[in-house]
Each structure stands twice: as C-alpha cells, then as structure tokens.
Structure 1
Amino acid sequence: MAGGFRIKRVHDDPSPQDGERVLVDRLWPRGVSKERAALDEWAKDAAPSNELRKWFHEAPDERREEFADRYTAELDGPDQSKKLDELRARAAKHTVTLLTATKDVEHSHVPVLLKQLKRK
C-alpha cells in the first residue's frame, strides 16, 4: 500500500490519517509539548540550516526564490540526501505527514522540501 506525503501544521491535532508524523523544522515549536506533537521523528537534517533560516526570515518576500535555490542545494548534501531517501522509502509504504510550526506553510521551506522528496 503506497502512502505518500502530506503537510500539516504541528499545532493541528494529530489524526489517524497522518500515518507517520515527522517534524521538518530546525527548532522545536513553541508551545507544543512532545506528547501533543505525537512525533515519530524530528528530521532536523531535512530542515534549512540555521544560517539559511535566519537569512530568509530577515526578508522572506524578497528572498523567497533565492531561498528555494539555496535550500535545494543544502538538500543535496550527504546527510540531507540520506534523510530524504529515508523519508521517500517510508512514504512508499505508508503516509508520512511533514509537520511544521510555520504559519504560512505555502511560503515556507516545506513546499521546497516536498518538491525535492518527489523529485526521485
């Protein structure tokens, strides 16, 4: 049974449809306990580096396109590639929900990550 990927905010209630729940943020989300998050994994290697994250948040509207390029390059690194391969393998078997604390998920790192996950 194939699952694939879903995206959800970590602040939203967990549901049985989530399958495996994987946090893809570098920082732990404020105000969310580990119990409430109900994570199967915290995939820091799939998140943007601290330097890139801080740079992007200084001017997200102006830097969105360059951020996507830089983050894609980071995801080609050995640790990141290994993590993406692991996530792809899991999603081939069942649903994997990528969790983020970002309020504006559409304009965050998550769509870039999802594009890379679906690339291979």
Structure 2
Amino acid sequence: MKQARIEIARAYDELGSDGGTRFLVDRMWPRGVKKESLQVEAWLRDVAPSTELRRWFDHDPARWETFTERYCAELDANPAAWQPIVDAAKHGRVTLLFGARDREHNQAVVLRDYLARKLAHH
C-alpha cells in the first residue's frame, strides 16, 4: 500500500496533472468553473458541511474552532460520504478541491485533517 497523501487545492487555481485522484468537496459547484477543467473523480456534495453549518460559519475565522468541532461531528455521523476519499487515499495521492477564498479556514482543511487521523488509525 502506498503512503496516503491527502492534499487540498482551490478549484480556481491552476491544477497540474500530478494531483492524483481529485474530489470536489463543496456542496455547490464553484461559480464559473467548467466541469472538464477540474477533472474530478467525483463531486462529493454530502461530505461538505450541512447548509445550516455552512451558513452559520460564514467563513468567519472567529467561529473556526466551533465550526471544526461541529463539522467533525457531521463527518462522524456520515462515514459513507467520506469513504470514497479514504479508499482512494489508500492507493495514492488525493486532492480535495474547494471553492472558498480563505485557504486556511474552509471545510477542505478540516476534512483533510479529519481523514488523515482516520487513515493513521488504520
């Protein structure tokens, strides 16, 4: 088994061909981005935070810690949503694509760290 590597990238960035398996992890498709340009394995809407949690967070860094806790609880309750990412990561590099402007405070950061912990325990 290869070393699992999960990375994140903004859907609006120039994406090279070395990103491994790509998953879009936003509930909504990034505005103005063509589907062909992302070259995603899958669009995993259900792995994104719930609409209620996303609206509450509103990309406010002051709410980051609580957002992280609540989102991890949602992930704990829905392992089928993130299992395709774990399965792909067991075979090589995975890139989680997100649309948010803030590169440090978004669901892909939380998801990457959450899945890294899951993979470390297996």
TM-score (norm 2): 0.87
Q: CA deviation at 1:52?
A: 0.5
Q: CA deviation at 1:119?
A: 1.5
| Count of aligned pairs | 117
- The answer to whether structure 1 residue 67 and structure 2 residue 67 are counterparts is yes
Name structure 2 gaps, 5 residues minimum: none
> Which residue in the other structure is 2:50 paired with?
49
> Which residue in the other structure is 2:112 paired with?
114
> Which residue in the other structure is 1:7 paired with?
8
> Which residue in the other structure is 1:93 paired with?
91
Say whether the 8 Å CA contact 1:20–1:97 is kept in structure 2.
yes
Q: Which has the higher helix share?
A: 1
Amino acid of the residue matched to residue 75 of structure 2? L
Judging changes above 3 Å, is the alpha-carbon distance between structure 1 residues 115 and 3 closer, same or farther for their aligned structure 2 residues?
A: closer
What do the CA deviations read for 1:84-114 (whole angstroms, capped 9, x no partner)? 2321121110111000011112111122111
SS in 1 for 2:88: helix
What do the CA deviations read for 1:4-28 (whole angstroms, capped 9, x no partner)? 1111111122322101110011111
TM-score (norm 1): 0.89
Cα RMSD (Å): 1.4
Say whether the 8 Å CA contact 1:20–1:39 is kept in structure 2.
yes
SS in 2 for 1:53: helix
Amino acid of the residue matched to residue 20 of structure 1? T
